[in-house]
Amino acid sequence: MDAYASFRFRDYRFFSSATLLSTFGLQMLSLAVSWDLYIQTKSAVVLGNVGFVQVAPFLLFALPAGHLADHFDRRRIMIFTQLLLMAASALLFTSSRSVFLIYTCLFLTATSRAFQGPARMAILPHVVPVDVLRNAITWNSSAMEIANVTGPALAGFMLASVGSRSVYVAQFICATLTLACFAFLRLRAEPDRKKPAPSGPAIAEGLKFVWRDKLILAAISLDLFAVLFGGAIALLPIYAVEILHTGAKGLGWLRAAPSFGAVTMAILSSHLPRAKKAGWTLLSTVAGFGVATIVFGLSRNFWLSFAMLLLTGAFDNS
């Protein structure tokens, strides 16, 4: 199959462009708000709460969002949630950015992503033919990783040169273009609509399935606690300014490092034989993630810190 087969289809070009623009803008937004909060408060607690504010909507709405994506028009869900995201983005560059306002906008943004995610992924098979779906998924993931690397790096340069307001404006433009891409989408076939069922029993059944399958439960729990107690991203502004003395530009590169590591590991994994002992491989990568995080916490050298963050992304994606 042609490596660029999925791009022959008009609607996939819109879909992949939306993925690239949306992820790029959100990465810029995340860096800018962390920087603004640090400059205003110099508080590690305020920075740490950014993660909670962004994760809480996913914990609250992940299961209802999947239920909605199964029973309602997914394209309309994507458009409506993108409008909500744009409203939050507009608030950030048109008003004074207090801590409360930033938290509120982050919560609204995360809520829109929580509901948009399942609808967006479920709609992909209706954008390209079945025989091109694997190629489309690969390119969609590649677009996300490219945006994860370039978004923070560019945001860091913009913060250092022209200030955070320009970053918020750029993110709003990306969000607007994403909305346009969603609006121009035409599905190849109408997705099958399931008869609406009570959401409570359906959610409970899903939780019971995960609890009964010990392999799935162990894998989810391991990844959850490794990232929950080992994530260093939220505190990067403190490291960039007070410990590594690199400023906003260095912050952008530090934020991009885990995604760069993830992309590198994805490329390497595609050329390496499949691991024979998956369980030991999983435990080894989690241990590697932890060691790299500890070394990052102790490092006082920018390049060593960058390398450790790169390794966290590589281990997380292995």
At residue 145, the pLDDT reads 83
* CA-closest candidate to residue 170, choices 11, 25, 15: 25
Distance CA 260, CA 20 (A): 16
At residue 266, the pLDDT reads 73
Provide the token pair at 304.
């060593």
At residue 103, the pLDDT reads 92
At residue 139, the pLDDT reads 84
**Is the CB of residue 78 less than 8 Å from the CB of residue 178?**
no
Q: Would you give the DSSP letter of residue 189? A: S
pLDDT tens for each residue of 141-190:
888 888 888 899 899 999 989 888 999 999 999 999 999 999 998 877 65
At residue 274, the pLDDT reads 63
Cβ atoms within 10 A of the Cβ of 73, count? 17
Binned at pLDDT 50, 70 and 90, residue 138 comes out as confident
pLDDT higher than threshold 90 for residue 216: no
At residue 110, the pLDDT reads 92
User: Which CA distances in Å does 27 have to 119, 139, 162, 308?
Assistant: 21, 19, 18, 20
Span 59-87, average pLDDT: 87
* CA-closest candidate to residue 301, choices 249, 247, 252, 246: 246
pLDDT higher than threshold 60 for residue 201: yes
Provide the token pair at 18.
């939306």
pLDDT higher than threshold 70 for residue 135: yes
Provide the token pair at 316.
């997380």
Tell me the angle at which helices 247-271 and 302-316 cross, rounded to the nearest 10 degrees.
40
User: Which CA distances in Å does 72 have to 65, 114, 122, 256?
Assistant: 10, 15, 11, 36
At residue 195, the pLDDT reads 52
At residue 214, the pLDDT reads 66
For residues 262-282, one letter each, b for 16 or more C-beta atoms within 10 angstroms of the residue's C-beta and e for the rest, the string is bbbbbeeeeeeeeeeeeeeeb
At residue 304, the pLDDT reads 94
Distance CA 292, CA 264 (A): 16
**Is the CB of residue 307 less than 8 Å from the CB of residue 313?**
no
Mean pLDDT for all residues in the chain? 84
pLDDT higher than threshold 70 for residue 241: yes
Binned at pLDDT 50, 70 and 90, residue 229 comes out as low
Instruction: Parse the chain into domains and list their residue ranges.
Output: 7-188, 231-318
pLDDT tens for each residue of 242-283:
999 998 889 999 988 888 888 888 777 666 666 666 667 777
| Entry pTM | 0.81
Provide the token pair at 222.
């391991």
At residue 182, the pLDDT reads 93
Distance CA 139, CA 298 (A): 37
Residue range 7-188, CATH number = 1.20.1250.20
Span 305-313, average pLDDT: 90
Q: How open is the CA angle 267-284-56, to the nearest 5 degrees?
A: 80
pLDDT tens for each residue of 80-123:
999 999 999 999 888 788 899 999 999 999 999 999 988 888 88
**Is the CB of residue 68 less than 8 Å from the CB of residue 267?**
no
Q: What residue has token string 């070394």?
A: 295
